[in-house]
A and B are shown apart, each in its own frame.
Chain A
Amino acid sequence: MIAKLRAGGAGIVLVGLLAFSPFVLDLYGLSVITYILLYGVAAISLQLLWGRGGQLSFGHAAFFGIGAYIYAIFTVKLQVPTPLALLLAITLSALLALIIGYFLFFGGVRAAYFSVITLAIALIANQLAISWTPVTGGNAGLIGVPGLSINVFGLELDFTSPVGGFSLALIVLAVALLVTWLIHFRRLGLIFTAIREDETRAAFMGYRTPAYLTALLVISVSLAALAGAAFSAVSNYAAPDMLGAVLSVEMLTWVAVGGRNFVAGALVGVVVLRLLNIQISTILPTSWPLIVGGFFVLVVLLVPAGLVGTFVRLAKRLRPRRLVPVEES
């Protein structure tokens, strides 16, 4: 119970603090934060599937990129109003996740095989984006993607300005935090953890585990697609590098570095690596992929719990022990 309130409180405080950003940061800083927040949601979506469900997706950037492209295509090519395009991005991606879940999870595909197939999906999405030029704009992608503006029932919300874009990103983050909080602290989260711990055992209890895993995939993909669509709306473009293997590995790095077992880990990982990226790009512009790869290898090898994971472990050790009577064996 306490953990539930503490986590919820932390989330609210975080969002609250971030809300002050437009007042304290210049335009450049604001745009950095905006992108960090959106990447952060993508990372959270991956952490949900990986840390909570135990299924490692190697191609999660595909869902982020697909969200971005759906939004872009519908607004630029089909002149669909932006809020509708956003909803379409989410629902169509959710549908895709449902199909993937049906074929993979219900087919008994797990762990390593699942990871490889998600990578294949990412590669294919990337290839499609590059080659299907009339629809996706090919290698250059789509530009001139409009920002989100809602005009419904007299309610006017304009997210097109830099501050508006930031607000959109913040709302998306709040949504993601709410979703993960709801999952984590209800029975559903417990069931996901049980499935992750021992799927066979959960199945023997009567849980239809493929259905649960598919549901988790749908939630995860929807969040990623939401982040991607928002990204496209804020950055006003969609490009193949939003879908590919490099971004997928980066996303894995964020979660691995931050701590794969914690939502906070996903956020910490994004912040650390994005800031690192910005610093290093000024000095060694083309070496970033090499550094990401190398860093990733080192982290997985030496610090598998990630920053947050290691921090939590240390904190537990430093906390004074409870006085417990000695147990007889």
Chain B
Amino acid sequence: MSSLELRKVTVSFKGLTVLSELDLGFGERSMNVLIGPNGAGKTTVLNALSGAVRPAGGEVWLDADDVTGESPTRFARRGVVRKFQVPTVFPGLTVADNLRVASSAPRPRATFTSGERDTRQRELSETLGLADRYEDLAADLSHGQRQWLEMGMAFLGDPRFLLLDEPAAGLGPGETQHTADLIKLMAERCCVIAVEHDMDFVRALGGEVTVLHQGALLARGTFKQIEKNTDVRDVYLGRGH
């Protein structure tokens, strides 16, 4: 069982402490959702877990390795793949080429031959719902399609940990369901850690929900348990989905 942990991690920006000696670990469950009000530090947690931000204090551990301070590139090579809130695909490349670039990226697990890669890519594009746009430029895709493409690209990186930052952001109702299905599919192969605001989406994903508040861990449990948790409700008073 792989584990990705923050141990007493402190992160501050220009004098403002976002995370303060936070202990937070992932890996036991394959589906994890991170929620919390604005400013709780959710994105910062993802940043710290993927090397995008170097903690001012504390350590980041991947299994038995101390990976604190390594670059995001190294994190990716170790199998911690991050998908950003704003879909950042390569707009000038086709869907097919985007997937190719992703599948050629260095990764820790077994590699496929190039023939297997192409088949895998095609199948993946069907699963993603992008089979008919295979040779189109990524720039021509809709917002939702770009999200799926980027998830596909993250998935092709064969991650051990897939970090998703607000995967449902900007999606229409039909697209949201497809996205949830895709994420659940990916959770079968790796450990997913998703940051989300949309409560319906969080409920659809299932798995373990972690609530963050002001840079500290507030509660952890299934969605039902969290729903009933009075601390969580206080903190969320007024927040819908």
A residues whose Cβ falls under 8 Å from a Cβ of B:
187, 190-191, 193-194, 197-198, 200-209, 329
Closest to A202 in B: B101
20 A–B pairs (Cβ distance < 8 Å), ordered by A? A187-B100, A190-B100, A191-B101, A191-B104, A200-B88, A201-B89, A202-B101, A203-B71, A203-B72, A203-B73, A204-B50, A204-B52, A204-B73, A204-B76, A206-B73, A206-B77, A207-B73, A207-B106, A208-B73, A329-B142
Q: Does B93 contact A (CB under 8 A)?
A: yes
- B71 / chain A contacts, CB cutoff of 8 Å: 203
- A190 / chain B contacts, CB cutoff of 8 Å: 93, 97, 100-101, 104
Cross-chain contact A206 with B91 (CB below 8 angstroms): no
- For window 138-188 of chain B, which residues contact chain A by CB distance below 8 Å? 142, 153, 157
For residue B175, give the distance in angstroms from its CB to the closest CB of chain A.
Answer: 11
Cross-chain contact A197 with B90 (CB below 8 angstroms): yes
- A200 / chain B contacts, CB cutoff of 8 Å: 88
Taken residue by residue from 70 to 91, chain B's Cβ proximity to chain A (1 for < 8 Å, 0 otherwise) reads as 0111001100011000001111
Cross-chain contact B73 with A197 (CB below 8 angstroms): no
Closest to A325 in B: B132
A-B contact count (CB 8 A): 57
Cross-chain contact B93 with A193 (CB below 8 angstroms): yes
- B157 / chain A contacts, CB cutoff of 8 Å: 205-206
Cross-chain contact A205 with B91 (CB below 8 angstroms): no
- B89 / chain A contacts, CB cutoff of 8 Å: 201
Cross-chain contact B76 with A193 (CB below 8 angstroms): no
Cross-chain contact A206 with B93 (CB below 8 angstroms): no
- A206 / chain B contacts, CB cutoff of 8 Å: 73, 76-77, 105-107, 157
Closest to A191 in B: B101
Q: Report how far A200 CA is from B81 CA in the complex, Å.
A: 13
Cross-chain contact A204 with B90 (CB below 8 angstroms): no
- B72 / chain A contacts, CB cutoff of 8 Å: 203-204
Closest to B101 in A: A194
Q: Report how far A207 CA is from B107 CA in the complex, Å.
A: 10
Q: Does B39 contact A (CB under 8 A)?
A: no
Cross-chain contact B105 with A205 (CB below 8 angstroms): yes
Q: Does B221 contact A (CB under 8 A)?
A: no
For residue A243, give the distance in angstroms from its CB to the closest CB of chain B.
Answer: 34
Q: Does B95 contact A (CB under 8 A)?
A: no
A-B pairs, 7 with minimum CB distance: A206-B76, A205-B105, A197-B90, A206-B105, A206-B77, A194-B101, A201-B88
Q: Does B102 contact A (CB under 8 A)?
A: yes
- Of A187, A201, A329, the residue contacting B90 (CB under 8 A) is A201
Q: Does B92 contact A (CB under 8 A)?
A: yes
